[in-house]
Amino acid sequence: MLEREKILEVKGLQTTFFTDDGEVPAVDNVDFHIREGEVLGIVGESGCGKSVTSLSIMGLVPSPPGKITNGEILFEDQDLTKLPEKKMREIRGNDIAMIFQEPMTSLNPLFTIGNQLQEAVKIHKKDWSKKQIYNRAVEMMKLVGLPRAEGLMKEHPHQLSGGMRQRVMIAMALLCDPKVLIADEPTTALDVTIQAQILKLIKNLNKELNTAVLLITHDLGVVAETCERVVVMYAGKVVEEGPVDAIFKDPQHPYTRGLLESVPDMRFKKERLYSIPGNVPKPGSIKTGCRFAPRCEFAFDRCVEETPPLYQTTEEHQTRCFLFDPKEAEKHDRTIVKS
Amino acid sequence: MTEQLLKVEGLKKYFPIKSGIFGRVSNHVKAVDDISFSVKEGETLGIVGESGCGKSTTGRMLMRLLEPTEGKVTFDGQELTSLSNNEMRKARRDIQMVFQDPYASLNPRHTIEKILMEPLNVHNIGDPKERKQKVHEFLEIVGLSSYHAKRYPHQFSGGQRQRIGIARALMTNPKLIIADEPVSALDVSIQAQVLNLMQDLQKELKLTYIFIAHDLGVVRHISDRVGVMYLGNMAEMADTEDLYEKPLHPYTQALLTAVPVPDPAFEREEVEIQGDVPSPANPPSGCRFHTRCPFKMDICETTIPIFAEVEKGHSVACHLYEESRPQ
């Protein structure tokens, strides 16, 4: 496959929350990129920093208490972290759009669907006529597979089901032909049959419109189904990154492996689920060493003393684990012990 | 093992919809509409379905936290639906519930000790010293430590809170535990811990579970038998292996193929169903699934299919299997 160009690049991103209990780095030195027309997944459990990462890209980190304290977010030769709010507003919703988890709360209950869709176009396409704007809104509603688009334009959000609302959100995000679409847990609030419809829609739109998608989720099944590449996050850090096939076939970081082992599979019955001992650490509580070390069955002295770098294990696969340091690899056995 | 612990016959729950200034009952939401099933001693019965299918309402009716509109629930030879409130309270000693939200189901003002002691006080089990001892014992059993007894719920993580919820359900030595989405609020790695704990406890304490959930993977993992609900009806019920390997009802088939599988190489056969779940206030006539069913026949619009056995231990409510049914 032809190497596609990087469209968005996050370099050394650090987003810190200044709370009463001190500084909490929710996202700590995160690097990744999205290529044109690609679907990139970010997976991790609650508190791993995946949502804060997406909010940082959009410039929507609640401030105070949050602030991007370090790093760059490069989009079309501009560093988004340095842009003034006015400039950022031109990019947001126009070049980079976002859909959220809760289709219930992300639409305004007081305005009609048509009103809200047209407002989004009006802001970015100032020279369009009313007719043009209306037609664009209807066109997008049809594209996302909503029935009787014209009729729905006059309805209020409460008249729609959860799945339809999420389709409206997607239509709204795509109105201005964004180059990147960030989807933060877009199907978590939906039932499985509706989830399947929405995921299929996102995949089709990605192919048809060539919009790059950054899909944030906690569901490994959703990742396997939709993404081309995956970034696995744990406690604010990227622990593994690679093509989806490699991550699922040859997961390298002990956390990724534990996560995959602990998911009950619908296709067959596992005798006993593997479970990662302990709990996700509080953000900022582990200062030195690998953040997964306290829960890791492979941890050795070095894991507690130093923070591991990302090791390039194959051409496209990276892992933040000392087991993949060429110097350590021989000394340690990497087979997982099932309890 | 084969003895029936719980039997449910023709259970219904209609919630009235009131309208107008006099609060006239204009319609009913048929949350659960005529379901029957039984649970054997020592087994885990999983109940799956999408939101609004009535699975939680069913769970609550079994404990009579909600009064059934119609139907009979027999537990251990005793008909629960005819008991007075007082007698029912006593019967609840043997049936306990674990709730979904570990944040909302524990009183934030009470210590863990007080929370766990409550069921013992209500059912008058043991003297204060014994109760305290029992609290400590059960904290250890669910994988916490006895020093946790003096803490408050907010000092625990979600997974630990769910362990406390399970300990509370175990305090009265119940026979049956109804778990309503016990792991859906938890992260995957914690979910696995809680599921393993529930399985261990079942073996040790010879518990019977009714496990209500929307996650088909979790249900397959923990259940011996599974019932699939759709819009207040039981669509299909069978042994877990049977149900997942050869689902009969078109809804079950669609549900199973809709679940994303954590394996990018997996190729699915698609049985896609269109549209959304209709409103339970105004359910479709005939088979309730006919509006979304890819195999719809004329009869489906007019006649409600009977929920009956097609093969041994495999029941389904669908006109497609009417002929293959043993007469």
CATH label of the domain that carries residue B179:
3.40.50.300
Range A5-16 average pLDDT: 92
Residue B273 included in any domain: yes
Range A240-249 average pLDDT: 94
Residue B142 included in any domain: no
Q: Which residue has the tokens 């008249």?
A: A159
Q: Is A86 exposed, middle or buried (0-12, 13-18, 19+ CB in 10 A)?
A: exposed
* A248:B188 CB<8 A: no
Residue B84 pLDDT: 93
| pLDDT band per the 50, 70, 90 thresholds, residue A280 | confident
Range A113-141 average pLDDT: 90
Q: How many structural domains is chain B composed of?
A: 1
Residue B2 pLDDT: 59
Tell me which chain B residue has its CA closest to the CA of residue A195. B258
**Across-strand partners of A66?**
A17
Query: Measured between CB atoms, which of A162, A225, A274 is closest to B192?
Result: A274
Query: Measured between CB atoms, which of A46, A263, A277 is closest to B262?
Result: A263
Residue B165 included in any domain: no
CA angle centred on B168, ends B164 and B169, rounded to 5°: 120
Query: Whole-angstrom Cα distance, residue A313 to residue A334?
Result: 14
Q: What is the pLDDT of residues A34-56, one digit of tens each?
A: 999 999 999 998 888 888 999 99
| A65 cis-preceded (ω within 30 degrees of 0) | yes
Residue of B50, B145, B187, B256 for testing the chain A interface, max A β-carbons within 10 Å: B187
Residues of B in contact with A273 (CB under 8 A): 192, 195-196, 221
Task: Return the percentage of chain A with pLDDT > 90, whole number.
Answer: 42
Q: Which residue has the tokens 């054997």?
A: B40
Q: Which of these, A79, A55, A84, lies nearest to A67 by C-alpha position?
A: A55
pLDDT at A221 over 80: yes
B50 touches chain A (CB under 8 A): yes
Residue B112 included in any domain: no
| Strand A39-43, strand A318-319: pairing | unpaired
Residue of B156, B186, B188 for testing the chain A interface, max A β-carbons within 10 Å: B188
Q: Which residue has the tokens 């934030």?
A: B108
Q: Supply the mean pLDDT for chain A.
A: 88
Residue B190 included in any domain: yes
Q: Is A183 exposed, middle or buried (0-12, 13-18, 19+ CB in 10 A)?
A: buried
Residue B282 pLDDT: 85
pLDDT at A334 over 70: no
B269 touches chain A (CB under 8 A): no
Residue B267 pLDDT: 78
Residue B294 included in any domain: yes
B260 touches chain A (CB under 8 A): yes
Residue B146 included in any domain: no
Hey, CA dihedral for A325, A327, A333, A339, is it positive or negative?
A: negative
Residue A2 pLDDT: 54
pLDDT at A339 over 50: no
Residue B157 included in any domain: no
Q: Note down pLDDT in tens along chain B; length 327 residues.
A: 458 899 999 999 999 988 888 888 888 888 999 999 999 999 999 999 988 889 999 999 999 999 999 999 999 989 999 999 999 999 999 999 998 877 888 999 999 999 999 999 999 988 999 999 999 999 999 988 888 899 999 988 888 999 999 999 999 999 999 999 999 888 888 899 999 999 999 999 999 999 999 999 999 999 999 999 999 999 999 999 999 999 999 999 999 988 888 888 887 777 777 777 888 888 898 999 999 998 889 999 999 999 999 988 999 999 998 876 655
| Structural domain range at position B49 | 4-94+172-321
Cβ neighbors of B40 (< 8 A, separation 6 or more) are B1, B2, B3, B4, B5, B208
pLDDT at A102 over 80: no
Q: What is the SS3 assignment for chain B?
A: CCCEEEEEEEEEEEEEEEECCCCEEEEEEEEEEEEEEEEECCCEEEEECCCCCCHHHHHHHHCCCCCCCEEEEEECCEEHHHCCHHHHHHHCCCEEEECCCCCCCCCCCCCHHHHHHHHHHHCCCCCHHHHHHHHHHHHHHCCCCHHHHHCCHHHCCHHHHHHHHHHHHHCCCCCEEEEECCCCCCCHHHHHHHHHHHHHHHHHHCCEEEEEECCHHHHHHHCCEEEEEECCEEEEEEEHHHHHHCCCCHHHHHHHHHCCCCCCCCCCCCCCCCCCCCCCCCCCCCCCCCCCCCCCCHHHHHCCCCCEEEECCEEECCHHHCCCCCC
Query: Whole-angstrom Cα distance, residue B179 to residue B253?
Result: 25
